[in-house]
């Protein structure tokens, strides 16, 4: 569907549906208050009421906070898509333009690539009416770019593992680079061998698909900052020889969500033409079983030179990131280094399925991310490093073990494993984002429908566009 920003004075078809937002307080003073009362509509959050004879869809919300606006619009767009209206309109203000656009685009998202007969939707146009188009134009266009990049990210996450294997992900990255005028460099098995990325290569050894390290770069003239983004791109994770239970394997196409997020973020940055240089590094690997699969009890040598004792082949993402993080730091001297990964189920145990875990050494940087995520409408929470948990990664036969020797604090110990591969000069520039819970959902919530959510794209876009 098309979304258009228009002046209030623009003529609208009588057949166009009017969407109106109500709180309990504003509902009682509306001219149609008696009709709403008869219909049992009380303007509760995320509830709708159709007045078909008047072409009005009333949407309830607790208050006018953007989180509530975004959520109720996401509910409304589902109702609109099920109706027979071709056009709809609603009033917007500078304070809620972004929330309304995200509610429409993200709440109305569908992934129909594998449907033989996708449902047809009659709704074609949504008009956002305002007093001054010029005043809202920049915010409108920016919000569209970020929301569409989030959907782009969702599409990649939702693509099946047979269709989105490491070479396919590299091909998609090349396409994005061409469309958005980015630099692109792809390393395959041969090049990774030369780079001594033995930990990463071990994870993908049993796959019939080549492992890939993807590097995209957006380089404007005279950038004020340089940012490196690193994404875990496990296009499918069977668990390897430490095989996952059958029910846990069903959603493992989402194990590439960190990689998808960094592609979505660099798409936003290049389309907004931000004056920062951004590098996206993706470790695209498939963790499978076979006669050549890496094994528990193996000792791997990382690109950094540290040896890693493997005690669980399902703790594979951190092995991939160990090499990609080291490669990224040697390739680019950046001001900030962020990695995104569906790394641990333990993060969901700690924070629930809606919240991204944030780990790192810089209190200031974690605070800045918290502010950006709150403004962007994504949930993040900090998980603290501590020296006692670090001891649990000790190995008696290698430099470090790939899992903790105790079953507690698994998200933090995974983050501390990655910390081992962050150079001393980059410790305060780095943050790790565990999006294991927030990147995928099988139960719709807020603006998220079934499947990939695009976690990380909105809050990192908010952080980067305001970076100083």
Tokens read off for 67: 């989180």
Closest CA to 420 of 391, 383, 397, 460: 391
Q: How far is CA 138 from CA 70, 125, 148, 308, in A?
A: 19, 20, 16, 49
Would you name the residues annotated as active-site residues?
244, 318
Angle formed by the axes of helices 317-331 and 410-419, nearest 10°? 30
Question: In terms of Cα–Cα distance, which of 445, 439, 444, 461 is closest to 158?
Answer: 439
Separation of CA 110 from chain center: 16
Tokens of 333: 């001297």
SS3 category, 281: strand
Both tokens of 448, joined, read 């998220």
Tokens 């709809």, residue located: 88
Buried b (16+ CB within 10 A) or exposed e, 89-120: bbbbeeebbbbbbbbbbbbbbbbeeeeeeeee
Under 8 Å between Cβ of 69 and 21: yes
Q: Which residue carries 């606006």 as its tokens?
A: 69
Half-sphere exposure of 44 (CA within 13 A, CB side): 5
Query: DSSP assignment of 147-166, as one string?
Result: HHHHHHHHHHHHS-TTTS-H
CB-CB neighbours of 190 under 10 Å: 9
- Say how far apart CA 313 and CA 222 lie, in whole Å: 44
Category of 456 on φ-ψ map: left (φ > 0), alpha (ψ -120 to 50) or beta:
left
DSSP-H helix ranges across 195-256: 198-203, 246-249
What is the distance between the alpha carbons of residues 398 and 394, in angstroms, rounded to a whole number?
A: 8
């Amino acid at each position: 569907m098309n979304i258009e920003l228009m002046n209030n004075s623009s003529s609208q078809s009588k057949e166009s549906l009017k969407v109106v937002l109500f709180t309990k307080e504003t509902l009682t003073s509306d001219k149609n208050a008696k009709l709403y009362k008869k219909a049992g509509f009380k303007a509760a959050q995320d509830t709708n009421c159709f007045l078909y004879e008047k072409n009005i869809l009333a949407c309830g919300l607790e208050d006018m906070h953007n989180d509530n606006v975004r959520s109720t619009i996401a509910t409304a767009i589902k109702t609109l898509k099920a109706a027979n209206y071709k056009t709809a309109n609603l009033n917007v203000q500078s304070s809620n333009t972004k929330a309304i656009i995200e509610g429409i685009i993200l709440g109305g998202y569908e992934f129909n690539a594998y449907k033989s007969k996708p449902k047809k939707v009659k709704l074609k146009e949504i008009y956002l009416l305002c007093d001054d188009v010029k005043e809202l134009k920049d915010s409108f266009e920016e919000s569209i770019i970020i929301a569409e990049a989030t959907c782009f990210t969702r599409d990649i996450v939702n693509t099946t593992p047979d269709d989105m294997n490491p070479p396919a992900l590299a091909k998609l990255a090349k396409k994005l680079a061409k469309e958005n005028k980015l630099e692109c460099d792809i390393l395959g098995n041969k090049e990774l061998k030369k780079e001594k990325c033995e930990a990463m290569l071990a994870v993908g050894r049993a796959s019939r698909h080549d492992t890939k390290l993807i590097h995209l770069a957006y380089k404007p003239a005279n950038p004020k900052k340089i940012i490196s983004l690193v994404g875990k791109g496990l296009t499918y994770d069977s668990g390897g020889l430490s095989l996952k239970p059958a029910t846990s394997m069903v959603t493992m196409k989402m194990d590439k969500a960190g990689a998808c997020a960094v592609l979505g973020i660099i798409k936003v940055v290049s389309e907004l033409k931000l004056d920062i240089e951004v590098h996206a590094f993706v470790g695209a690997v498939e963790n499978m079983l076979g006669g050549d699969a890496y094994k528990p009890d193996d000792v791997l040598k990382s690109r950094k030179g540290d040896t890693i004792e493997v005690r669980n082949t399902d703790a594979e993402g951190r092995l991939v990131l160990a090499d990609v993080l080291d490669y990224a730091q040697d390739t680019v001297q950046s001001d900030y280094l962020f990695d995104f990964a569906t790394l641990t189920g333990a993060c969901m145990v700690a924070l629930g399925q809606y919240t991204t875990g944030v780990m790192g050494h810089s209190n200031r940087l974690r605070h800045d991310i918290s502010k950006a995520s709150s403004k962007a409408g994504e949930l993040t929470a900090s998980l603290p490093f501590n020296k006692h948990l670090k001891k649990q990664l000790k190995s008696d036969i290698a430099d470090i073990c790939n899992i903790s020797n105790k079953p507690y604090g698994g998200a933090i110990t995974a983050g501390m494993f990655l910390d081992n591969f962050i150079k001393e000069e980059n410790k305060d520039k780095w943050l790790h984002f565990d999006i294991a819970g927030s990147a995928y959902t099988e139960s719709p919530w807020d603006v998220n429908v079934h499947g990939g959510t695009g976690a990380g794209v909105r809050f990192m876009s908010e952080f980067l566009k305001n970076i100083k």
